[in-house]
């Protein structure tokens, strides 16, 4: 009982953090005698969050009832930072508020979206000198199949700090072969996506390589997502 009273005192004396962030380590009070460390998984609004709580027993998910039974993990939904109620969360003074961890990516910290100007086998383009970017292009690769053979074509995305980049970052290719009757030629191909995260200050270009036949290449669309620092 002494340990529970001490943890309740800590909850009452913790300074409020504003605002809560995903990935923040907090304290979850299930009821007056069950208090657990937890991690915020989603901020719904104001101080209402989703979180997952950990049991002090065997360091596993706590999702049980008053007896502390352990069952498969779940997310606690709509937990408010209330002043004096059970089923609430509060700041954990032993865990800094750092927010989400891991590499940034589209949808998490995109500060802008634009249409770049890359062309096939053209000059390189500097996307952004101070921000990482996500470049995505949809390309078409088509070719003919005849008695003389098929085609094999590849589009490469090359990016680095040089004015003429040579480092492969992504690509897409198409290969087709077959047999047709005399006097008949068949055109086939498809649409393919080329995408890569590009470091700040790196230049990029798109190149084509035809290993077999004479495939036709074109850019259908391209998009650039600029990431916030």
Q: Which of 227, 210, 216, 113 is nearest to 153 (CA)?
A: 210
pLDDT for 4 equals 35
- The pLDDT, as a whole number, for residue 228 is 80
State residue 176's pLDDT score. Answer: 81
∠ CA 140-186-180, rounded to 5°:
140
pLDDT digits (tens, 9 = 90+) for 173-184: 888 876 666 656
Q: Is the pTM of this model over 0.75?
A: no
Query: What φ, ψ does residue 112 adopt, rounded to 5°?
Result: -170, 150
Residue 204 and residue 190: Cα distance in Å, rounded? Answer: 24
Given this model, what pLDDT does residue 181 score? 62
What pLDDT was estimated at residue 83? Answer: 56
H or E, element range at 80: strand 76-80
**Burial class, 12, CB count within 10 angstroms (exposed 0-12 / middle 13-18 / buried 19+):** exposed
Structure tokens belonging to residue 109: 């910290």
**Phi/psi class of residue 59: alpha, beta or left (left: φ > 0; alpha: ψ in -120 to 50)?**
left
Ranges under pLDDT 50 in the chain = 1-17, 56-74, 99-107
CA 122 → CA 163, 205, 208, distances in Å?
12, 7, 10
Residue the block writes with tokens 């002043």 = 83
């Amino acid at each position: 009982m002494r340990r529970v009273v001490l943890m309740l005192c800590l909850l009452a004396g913790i300074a409020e953090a504003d605002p809560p962030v995903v990935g923040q380590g907090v304290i979850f009070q299930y009821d007056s005698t069950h208090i657990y460390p937890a991690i915020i998984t989603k901020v719904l609004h104001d101080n209402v969050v989703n979180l997952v709580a950990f049991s002090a027993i065997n360091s596993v998910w706590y999702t049980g009832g008053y007896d502390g039974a352990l069952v498969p993990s779940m997310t606690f939904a709509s937990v408010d930072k209330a002043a004096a109620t059970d089923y609430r969360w509060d700041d954990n003074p032993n865990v800094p508020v750092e927010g989400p961890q891991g590499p940034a990516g589209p949808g998490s910290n995109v500060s802008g979206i634009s249409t770049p100007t890359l062309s096939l086998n053209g000059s390189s383009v500097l996307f952004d000198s101070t921000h990482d970017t996500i470049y995505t292009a949809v390309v078409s690769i088509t070719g003919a199949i005849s008695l003389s053979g098929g085609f094999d074509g590849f589009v490469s995305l090359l990016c680095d700090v040089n004015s003429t980049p040579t480092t492969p970052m992504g690509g897409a290719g198409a290969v087709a072969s077959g047999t047709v009757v005399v006097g008949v030629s068949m055109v086939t191909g498809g649409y393919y996506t080329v995408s890569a995260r590009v470091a700040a200050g790196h230049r990029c270009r798109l190149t084509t390589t035809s290993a077999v036949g004479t495939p036709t290449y074109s850019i259908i669309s391209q998009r650039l997502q600029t990431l916030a620092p």
